[in-house]
């Protein structure tokens, strides 16, 4: 005689096997164990994690923006499930009245223990007082109400700035000697509000511009410069501009052999 319970089979002449089956069924009903997969693994659902990259400061919520300026916020979503299949998540962002929020894509599908990114574009009103305006992000697992995450970032409106950006981590410095076929010229810049762009000049000749994305707290310029036929001494000039026109300048005199 056989008794069936879910996908378990218990033979009545085996009391030990019958007891194990009953215990498993009780644990399954109580949610103590997850769903068993063919490979023998178990699925443990967990709430997702969400974060936002912004340009205010390292590990600080918020991005600086001028009245009427569109800012981009990079949304990071992590599926913390263990041993489960893929899950889809719906992302939404709310802002105070007068702000415009655009999500080019509001869904993302992730495998267990994996991460992905989406972007949100937020525009402030053209007339608005300085201050921190909350942006509430919500991440919800599709088809599972209450299984999600939320956090608050900020649109930090400002209308004046007299401090020039700072330049650092330049790959060129005074007294440096270069050789070879090419060299990667790079520099990083940050500002008390936000960097607009970085420009590179070599011997007062314009070479490259990086337009900053307003997503991260710093901005980087990278330019590959050919060293063929340029032996001798040179001067590189890095210029970093913020959104109010303040300029930070750094120079380096070096030699190519």
Same-domain pairing of 66 and 152: yes
Q: Is 146 left (phi over 0), alpha (psi -120 to 50) or beta?
A: left
pLDDT for the residue numbered 135: 97
Residue 177 counted as domain residue: yes
Same-domain pairing of 133 and 191: no
Residue 134 counted as domain residue: yes
Same-domain pairing of 148 and 55: yes
The CA-CA-CA angle for residues 209, 214, 218, to 5°, reads 75
Residue 42 counted as domain residue: no
Distance, CA of 139 to CA of 128 (rounded, Å): 29
Same-domain pairing of 82 and 140: yes
Residue 84 counted as domain residue: yes
pLDDT for the residue numbered 187: 98
Pairing of strands 70-79, 63-65: unpaired
Distance, CA of 245 to CA of 134 (rounded, Å): 27
- What CATH code is carried by the domain that includes residue 90? 2.60.40.2310
Same-domain pairing of 110 and 138: yes
Domain boundary among 157, 175, 202: 157
Domain boundary among 120, 139, 157: 157
Residue 168, number of CB atoms within 10 A of its CB: 12
Same-domain pairing of 149 and 203: no
Same-domain pairing of 107 and 171: no
Same-domain pairing of 173 and 151: no
pLDDT in tens, the chain (257 residues): 433 333 333 333 344 444 544 454 444 444 444 444 434 568 998 999 999 887 666 667 899 999 999 999 999 999 999 999 999 999 999 999 999 999 999 999 999 999 999 999 999 999 999 999 999 999 999 988 767 899 999 999 999 999 999 999 999 999 999 999 999 999 999 999 999 999 999 999 999 999 997 777 889 999 999 999 999 999 999 999 999 999 999 999 999 99
Residue 6 counted as domain residue: yes
Number of domains in the chain: 3
Same-domain pairing of 56 and 150: yes
- What CATH code is carried by the domain that includes residue 171? 2.60.40.10
Residues near 222 by beta carbon (within 8 Å), at least 6 away in sequence: 184, 185, 186, 210
Residue 15 exposed, middle or buried by CB count within 10 Å (0-12, 13-18, 19+): exposed
Same-domain pairing of 118 and 151: yes
Extract the tokens encoding 7: 């996908």
Same-domain pairing of 78 and 150: yes
Same-domain pairing of 252 and 186: yes
Domain boundary among 97, 128, 157: 157
Q: What global pTM score does this model have? A: 0.77
**Residue position matching structure tokens 């378990």:** 8
Residue 74 counted as domain residue: yes
Range of the domain at 8: 2-33
Residue 232 counted as domain residue: yes
């Amino acid at each position: 005689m056989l008794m069936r319970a879910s996908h378990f089979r218990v033979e009545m002449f085996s009391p030990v096997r019958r007891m194990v089956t009953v215990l498993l069924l009780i644990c399954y009903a109580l949610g103590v164990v997850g769903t068993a997969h063919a490979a023998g693994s178990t699925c443990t659902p967990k709430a997702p994690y969400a974060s936002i990259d912004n340009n205010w400061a390292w590990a600080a919520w918020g991005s600086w923006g001028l009245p009427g300026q569109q800012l981009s916020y990079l949304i990071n979503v992590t599926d913390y499930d263990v041993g489960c299949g893929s899950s889809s998540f719906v992302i939404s962002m709310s802002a105070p009245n007068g702000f415009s929020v655009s999500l080019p894509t509001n869904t993302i599908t992730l495998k267990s223990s994996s991460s992905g990114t989406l972007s949100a574009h937020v525009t402030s009103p053209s007339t608005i007082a300085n201050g921190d305006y909350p942006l509430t992000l919500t991440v919800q697992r599709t088809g599972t109400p209450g299984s999600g995450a939320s956090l608050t970032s900020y649109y930090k409106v400002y209308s004046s700035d007299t401090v020039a950006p700072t330049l650092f981590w330049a790959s060129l410095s005074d007294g440096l000697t270069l050789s070879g076929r090419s060299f990667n010229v790079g520099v990083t810049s940050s500002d008390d509000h936000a960097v607009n762009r970085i420009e590179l000049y070599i011997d007062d000749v314009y070479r490259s511009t990086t337009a900053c994305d307003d997503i991260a707290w710093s901005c980087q310029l990278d330019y590959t410069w050919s060293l063929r036929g340029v032996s001798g001494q040179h001067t590189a000039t890095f210029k970093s501009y913020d959104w109010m026109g303040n300029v930070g300048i750094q120079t380096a005199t070096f030699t190519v052999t």
